[in-house]
C-alpha cells in the first residue's frame, strides 16, 4: 500500500507497569509487545513505518535497528498529538493515508487495520476512528455520533455528562487520517487541559469545525483493540495468545 504510512506511538514510560522499561518493551511470550504491532502493520505493506520513541529510546532503537522502520523522537512527552507531530518531517514527501496506533495493542489484526484504511479511503474521510463497543466503557473516551457513521466529537470520561457516560462506544486510540488533514488539524490542537498535553483526539473536533468528514468504524472484535496498561492486563493477553495456539 504505497499510499499508506504508519505511525506507531512508543514513547511512554508506562508508569502503571511498575517498571522503568518503556511500556511497549515489556514482553509477551518472550517478545516485546511492540514487535506484535510492527509485524502486523508490516503485513499491510506501508510505504513508511515511523516509530515515535521517547523514554529510554536507545533501547528500542537498538533492538529494532534492522527492522524496516524509521524513528522519530518525542522529548519531552507532551501527549499523543505532540507525539504524532514529531513524525511530520519523515512524511514531507508522502501523500496518502496515515494509520496511527499505539505500540501497546498487540492483538490488533491485519484484517481490522485493512478494513479501517479501506473505510477511510472509500468515504474520502479526513479521519476515521477505530472504535469498540464495550459492555462497560470504563475510563475510555466516549464516541459522540452525528448522522450515520459520522462523529461529532470524542469526550473523555472526566468531561462526560451523565448521559454521555451511558454511551458504550469508545475510542480505541487507533485512527486512519488523510495526511494533510492530520497535520493541518494538529497545528490547531492546544494543550488546554489538566495534563497540559496535546491530545490526538482533539483533531476530530477540529476537523469537524473545518467542515471535513470524520467517521467512526467499530471493530468487529473489540478485544483486539484494547491496550495494555498494567502487568495484570499483560498476563491476560499472554493467556489469550496461549489459548489461541
> Is position 234 within any domain?
no
> Is position 230 within any domain?
no
Is 142 among the residues known to form the active site? no
Domain of 156? 4-225
Q: How far apart are CA 163 and CA 100, in angstroms?
A: 29
What is the mean pLDDT for each group of 10 consecutive residues in the chain (245 residues)? Answer: 92 86 95 97 98 97 98 95 98 97 96 98 97 94 92 90 96 97 97 88 95 97 91 91 81
pTM of this prediction? 0.96
DSSP class of 117: H
Residue 127 near residue 33 (C-beta atoms within 8 A): no
Q: For cell 484494547, what's the residue?
A: 226
With a CB cutoff of 8 Å and minimum separation 6, the contacts of 71 are 50, 51, 52, 53, 57, 60, 61
Domain count, the chain: 1
CATH number at residue 86: 3.90.550.10
pLDDT tens for each residue of 137-192: 999 999 999 988 999 999 988 889 999 999 999 999 999 999 999 999 999 999 98
Q: How far apart are CA 205 and CA 162, in angstroms?
A: 21
With a CB cutoff of 8 Å and minimum separation 6, the contacts of 122 are none
Q: How far apart are CA 62 and CA 18, in angstroms?
A: 23
Alpha-carbon distances of 100 from 49, 193, 236, 242, rounded to whole Å: 10, 22, 25, 27
Residue 35 near residue 28 (C-beta atoms within 8 A): no
> Is position 231 within any domain?
no
> Is position 239 within any domain?
no
Amino acid at each position: 500500500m504505497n499510499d499508506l504510512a504508519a505511525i506507531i506511538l512508543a514513547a511512554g514510560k508506562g508508569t502503571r507497569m511498575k517498571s522503568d522499561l518503556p511500556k511497549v518493551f515489556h514482553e509477551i511470550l518472550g517478545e516485546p509487545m511492540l514487535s506484535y504491532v510492527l509485524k502486523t502493520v508490516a503485513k499491510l505493506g506501508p510505504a513508511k513505518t515511523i516509530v515515535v520513541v521517547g523514554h529510554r529510546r536507545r533501547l528500542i532503537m537498538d533492538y529494532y535497528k534492522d527492522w524496516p522502520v524509521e524513528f522519530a523522537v518525542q522529548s519531552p512527552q507532551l501527549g499523543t498529538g505532540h507525539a504524532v507531530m514529531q513524525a511530520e518531517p519523515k512524511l514531507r514527501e508522502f501523500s496518502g493515508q496515515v494509520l496511527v496506533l499505539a505500540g501497546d495493542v498487540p492483538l490488533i489484526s491485519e484484517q481490522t487495520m485493512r478494513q479501517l484504511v479501506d473505510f477511510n479511503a472509500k468515504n474520502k474521510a479526513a479521519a476515521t476512528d477505530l472504535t469498540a463497543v464495550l459492555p462497560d466503557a470504563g475510563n475510555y473516551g466516549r464516541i459522540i455520533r452525528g448522522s450515520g457513521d459520522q462523529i461529532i466529537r470524542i469526550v473523555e470520561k472526566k468531561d462526560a455528562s451523565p448521559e454521555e457516560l451511558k454511551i458504550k462506544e469508545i475510542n480505541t486510540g487507533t485512527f486512519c487520517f488523510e495526511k494533510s488533514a492530520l497535520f493541518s488539524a494538529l497545528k490547531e490542537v492546544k494543550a488546554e487541559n489538566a495534563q497540559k498535553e496535546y491530545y490526538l483526539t482533539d483533531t476530530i473536533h477540529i476537523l469537524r469545525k473545518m467542515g471535513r468528514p470524520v467517521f467512526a468504524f467499530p471493530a468487529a472484535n473489540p478485544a483486539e483493540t484494547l491496550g495494555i496498561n498494567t502487568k495484570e492486563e499483560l498476563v491476560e493477553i499472554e493467556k489469550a495468545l496461549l489459548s489461541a495456539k
